[in-house]
Amino acid sequence: MELIKIYQGNVITAYDLYEFLEIKTKFSMWISRNLLTDFEEDKDFFPFLGQSTGGRQRKDYYLTINTGKKLAMMAKTPKGDQARAYFIKCEETLLAIRDNKRLEGFMKLETTKSRLKDHVLEIGGKENDYIEIDYAGRKIFFNGEPMPDNELPLVLIKGRDFATEMTNEGLKSAGIADLETAKELNKINHRDVREILKANTGQLPEKLKLEKPIDPKQPEE
């Protein structure tokens, strides 16, 4: 049951939380005393103009689920514990969804890598040649020692999949039959995706934190 409306899958509004908690203090004062003093803008909360009241728009704030949980704990109202338990459940659900998407992305990457191996074998290479070609791309992607695919966050799993998929398409459409050319193509594609990630996230692949290893043989908890 949705006690407090969740927007875009991961944020709530401060006013919705305020009303649910049945805060007696004026909304603007409650925000000033609690949200603005103890939390960070553009990280924990995001200002926006809310629903109009009496012909005027009210300044409101999108809150992360974690920020909502902390504010509920600070409120000390009868509904505070109820809201806190609700947000904990929401966080667990979001975590499960994220983990499932990582597993799905990882399995897609494994399929893409398998097709790369098939292409390498088709042009006269061996399994060691495939391993070398894949490793060369990974080394470029991480600017050094590659990280294990099963420990990557979702954005890097998808980045690896996209780069490898472009190599597959290049090998197929260009009719490449030379192992060294295949290796260079895979390096170029991984370098291009690395630059896309840097340009759009402001972070380099090797700087992103590794996550819990994915084991496809084990069911998700």
pLDDT of residue 197: 94
In a 3-state reduction of DSSP, which class is residue 142? coil
Closest-CA residue to 187 (of 175, 198, 179, 197):
179
d(CA 62, CA 45): 5
Same structural domain, 110 and 165: yes
Same structural domain, 104 and 155: yes
pLDDT of residue 54: 65
pLDDT of residue 216: 66
Low-confidence ranges of the chain (pLDDT < 70): 1, 52-55, 216-221
Q: Domain range holding 15?
A: 11-78
pLDDT of residue 91: 84
Same structural domain, 73 and 107: no
pLDDT of residue 22: 93
Q: 12: Cβ–Cβ under 8 A, 6 or more apart, which residues?
A: 4, 5, 6, 62, 63, 65, 68
Tell me how many domains the chain contains: 2
pLDDT of residue 6: 87
Q: Please give the angle made by the CA atoms of 113, 114 and 118, to the nearest 5 degrees.
A: 115
Residue 109 and residue 164 in contact, taking contact as beta carbons nearer than 8 Å = yes
Same structural domain, 158 and 187: yes
pLDDT of residue 207: 93
Question: Model's pTM, two decimal places?
Answer: 0.58
* Structural domain includes residue 67: yes
